[in-house]
Chain A
Amino acid sequence: MSNYDAIIIGAGHNGLTNAAYLAKAGLNVVVVEKNEYIGGAAVTRELQEGWKYSNCSYVCSMMRQAIHRDLDLAKHGLILVPYLGNINFGDGDERLLSYHNEEAAHLELKRHSPHDADAMHRFQTDLTRYSQLIRKTLMRTPPDPTSFRPRDIMELLYLAKQFWKLGEKELYEYVRFFTMSAAEYLEDYFENDLIKAAMASPGIIGTALGVYSPGSSYILLHHVMGDVDGSIGAWGLARGGMGAISNAIAGAVNEFGGEIRTNSGVQKILVENRKAVGVVLENGDEIRARIVVSNLDAKRTFTRIMDKNDLPDGIYDKAKNFKIRGSSGKVNIALSGMPKFTGVPENRYVARGGQVFTGSLETMERAYDCWKHGRWSDDPFIESVIPSAWDPTVAPPGQHWMSNFVQYCPAELSDGPWTPEKRDQFGESVIKKIEGYSPGFRDLIVHMEVRTPYEIEKEIGLTEGNIFQGELTIDQLFFNRPFPGYGQYRMPVKNMYMCGSSTHPGGGVSSVCGANAAREILMDLRRTNTVPEDDFYDE
């Protein structure tokens, strides 16, 4: 049995990032992964021969370029190619295309509402301002506001300064934006319902909130604050699927001498004298190390692979109360050809973007109501993309694969547990909706994989299949993430850390959580920091 400096539990992209930075600092690290493949929710899986599904996460916007460059992910095979916009499908015949070209996008908005086309400039300006503020906090460890340590006070002052730089008016506007519902916030800008719906839709992706729930406008920002090469809000696809990201980071881990063990699920984190000392694998093997880093979500970490008695008072309850609600499903479809959508021009550029089955604010909200009642909606919100339109590696030539992210899908149904039949019915609701916009769609289907929160939790280990590893509401953001007092990656048991999306800044394929945790760990181990500072395009 070898002795390691660090064990990282879970080879998701954050775990791998964490391992890469620790290994880079010269630590002897091992990443243990329960599945036979690495990547967690950033994976590429060939479930049908010739088709490679990014069957969990499907889009990349938050990956910090500082990490991308620093770990030399390009060398390890990663290239991110930006989307060229979206088609929003309204209820009925309405379509809103977000063209890549600014003039064209403006004209398209104007076709729906000249007022909104103009207001979009103000909206984009304001959103950029808020994004810039949040982005400055991403690769920094949140301060503990209850602490008097110089580091925390300095960090609070840094934050205060960033807020101050907004100017008084924008500061208040920021509070408004940060706490309101996406739908109500957008009232100040737009009048056209489809435009409002299209703009609000990122506010519900992955969350147990609706477009009318306060707090959803922050979720909106969380999805659009990333960038591809400095253009804020742009989304990109990883060539070869999302697994290419994990594989590239794993390449970096290997390069720095780290070890990755698959088929090695952790049964328990070993705690002795209130210190984490290693893990016991499901096969009974014991691995010991100076520190243990969990990339699992907070609920799973503390309630499933730790003994309640090993935890200080109250932590178990905090973990139990941690909000990690399953609200999304995923339907991955192999297609024998490119589907045609009604009301959409057969324009080679338009196909190189996403398809968003937005409906209207009310459609989205009613889908949320269904979720509250413990059922899926017959008229779900679906965010789709056909990556094979510009990634030649993920489907046979002339054939395609389509990723369909579905909001909402409950983790627990009101009429009893998930069954394969119910799963298929859920999948059918998605096909039916798409078929409504693309007659004949069904006939193109070669293979499909339907994933409800139940499947996602079972395979990936995300509690309730929550894509963010925990809701992104203020009570679970920043220094409150995952719990107040534990916002700095160190956990209540000594020598134990967390590095997943349950920590600041939360979900998304960003690698930030893993990198931030590595920085804190190296500080504790008195090693030279290997984690780069974030860099910004001059904003």
Chain B
Amino acid sequence: MDHYDSIIIGAGHNGLVAAAYLARSGQQVLLLEAADVCGGLGRKREFHPGFQGSVAHSVSHFSSKIANDLSLSSFGYESPTNSLATVGLSSDGQHTVVKDGRVEGVGEKDAAAYQEYRRQMRRFADALSPFWLKTIPRIGSAGMSDLMTFGHLGLNIRKLGKKDMREFMRIATLPVRDLMDENFENDILKTTLGWDGLIGSKLAPRSPNSAVLAMLYRMAGESEGTHAIPAGGVAGLIDALCQSAKASGAEIRHSAAVSRILIEGGADGLVATGVQLADGQKIMASRVVSSADPKSTFFNLVGVEHLDIGFTNRIRRLRCDGYVGKLHLALNGAPEFAGLDKADGRMIIAPKLDAIEFAYDDAKYGECSRNPVMEIVVPSLHDASLAPENQHVLSAHVMYVPHKLQGGWTDAARVAIGDRAIETIAQYAPNIRAQIIHSEFLTPADLEADYGVTGGHWHHTEMAVDQMLMMRPTYEAAQYGTPVPGLYLCGAGSHPGGDITGNAGHNAAQEILR
């Protein structure tokens, strides 16, 4: 094949979803992946012989529409029914457990407040939920269907009723801390519920404007944003997506890094015509769809000479520095957290909102948090294939770990923060050190190097309100098309953003097929 309808760069989950949709529509699709396996940040990573993890360690709001459309169930993926409890670890063993719409380990008042809080957030999340699976139009364009999208959004918010609508417009920009303080008394409950507004971003509990939107985004869909580990782990989902894409006729090539997007110019302007691989091979296509982050796509693959200067600057100023480090522990047994029967939930270590705030304060000056906060999952309890028998993998997202460490990242610095993270875990699981066979710590700089994501940022670029919706990544490229005809974006740097949802890939494919 020397000419494809679509070439998709990057076989992360969004690239896979886009490839599957385009292939199903009858296009000749080629998916190119630099690594030797699919999955991007969701791919399996053997960090010690016999022990596997993945940077993304759970799934929370993967779109069920996409799962249905792509018949993922016939490829071994089932929408997980057994969600993980979110466990706010307390040093006294009195943990706060949020599961299936109930909260345990807090006072009656908080338990009741949680029900009201959940009802209201659920309503808000539902009002927004259709728009994560839709292209948000440019305000400047005034097509009928575009106006409909805005009309629909307006209507959904109106439908909340006067009281909830007013409350929505107030809390939409609240910092996590204010939202939690208004509703709850228990510190651990506050951190546990607030966590999803902050994880993966350069945001702290006192940062206004973006955290609540991130929370509502994560509450979209049937599962209310509860996390789960699907059968076969996150990699199981990736595998199903791969198979679905292949079954639809998409061709997937591994170890095929793209070095350049080919762009031809003429009197009518530029057009993307294909890609050049690292080995020099050129492959032509009617369009190129990049699931790489916007900075990589435009600066490394397209080249600024093909872009307007203002546009280049708008991409350049995207905030793409990751603040999450990844800890993988190979354990010789199941970890034992004091006061917890089984470590099969999503455990959060953040004793107070201000503990998160102060951890962030260190990172904003380019230092690692002195007292890191984190989210822990033991995926091997859900997927035995990840570790040898009776042995386990602990996976933790550690915040805040700056991409640009003062003085630069060194092995010593990496060991130091890894150690601090283990030390923190040990306060809750006293035996953990004795159980460790091997540990791995990935800084944002490591994620950037290993996964090709600018800044090592999970979401490719900050999920801040000025970089969301029709401004993600910037207004000229927010409808998946770009200023270069024939070039599309389909990654987390596009609406609606990060996390394993498949939405960006889905929306991009719909836009291409429109």
Contacts and interface: CB of A to CB of B under 8 A. Distances in A.
A and B touch in the complex (CB under 8 A): yes
A365 B364 contact: yes
A484 B166 contact: yes
Given A146-B165, A484-B167, A474 B471 contact: no
Contacts of B365: 362, 365
B313 A212 contact: no
Contacts of A480: 169-170
Given A179-B464, A179-B465, A484-B169, A168 B364 contact: no
Interface string A169-200: 10110011001100010011000000000000
Given A172-B475, A180-B464, A323-B178, A369 B361 contact: yes
Contacts of B465: 175, 179
Contacts of B471: 172, 175-176
A213 B208 contact: yes
Contacts of A323: 178
Nearest to A365: B364
Contacts, number: 88
Interface in A135-172: 145-146, 168-169, 171-172
Interface in A432-487: 473-475, 479-480, 483-485
- DSSP majority for the B interface? helix
Contacts of A479: 169
B357 A171 contact: no
B370 interface: no
Contacts of A373: 358
Given A146-B166, A369-B361, A474 B139 contact: no
Contacts of B464: 179-180, 214
B198 to A, nearest CB: 13
Nearest to B478: A172
A451 to B, nearest CB: 25
Contacts of A171: 139
Interface in B151-166: 158, 162, 165-166
Contacts of B169: 145, 479-480, 484
A184 B162 contact: no
A171 to B, nearest CB: 6
Interface string A341-353: 0000000000000
Interface in A250-274: none
Contacts of B178: 321, 323, 475
B116 interface: no
Interface string B362-379: 001100000000000000
A362 B173 CA distance: 25
Contact of B466 (A146, A175, A321, A474): A175
B382 interface: no
B313 A485 contact: no
Contact of B313 (A145, A188, A213): A188
Nearest to B175: A473
A215 interface: yes
Nearest to B181: A321
Nearest to B354: A372
A480 B171 CA distance: 10
A175 B470 CA distance: 11
Given A145-B165, A175-B466, A485-B162, A475 B173 contact: yes
Nearest to A474: B173
Contact of B208 (A362, A473, A483): A473
B170 A475 contact: yes
B166 A214 contact: no
Contacts of B208: 209, 213-215, 473-475
Nearest to B212: A475
Nearest to B471: A172
A323 B313 CA distance: 36
A168 B140 contact: yes
A474 B162 contact: no
A383 B277 CA distance: 57
18 contacts: A172-B139, A175-B465, A179-B210, A180-B466, A188-B313, A213-B208, A214-B203, A215-B208, A323-B178, A362-B365, A473-B173, A473-B209, A474-B208, A475-B173, A475-B174, A483-B170, A484-B166, A485-B162
Interface of A: 145-146, 168-169, 171-172, 175-176, 179-180, 184, 187-188, 209, 212-215, 321, 323, 362, 365, 369, 372-373, 473-475, 479-480, 483-485
Given A146-B158, A168-B139, A179-B173, 11 more contacts: A172-B474, A175-B465, A179-B209, A179-B210, A209-B206, A213-B208, A321-B182, A323-B178, A362-B365, A475-B173, A475-B208
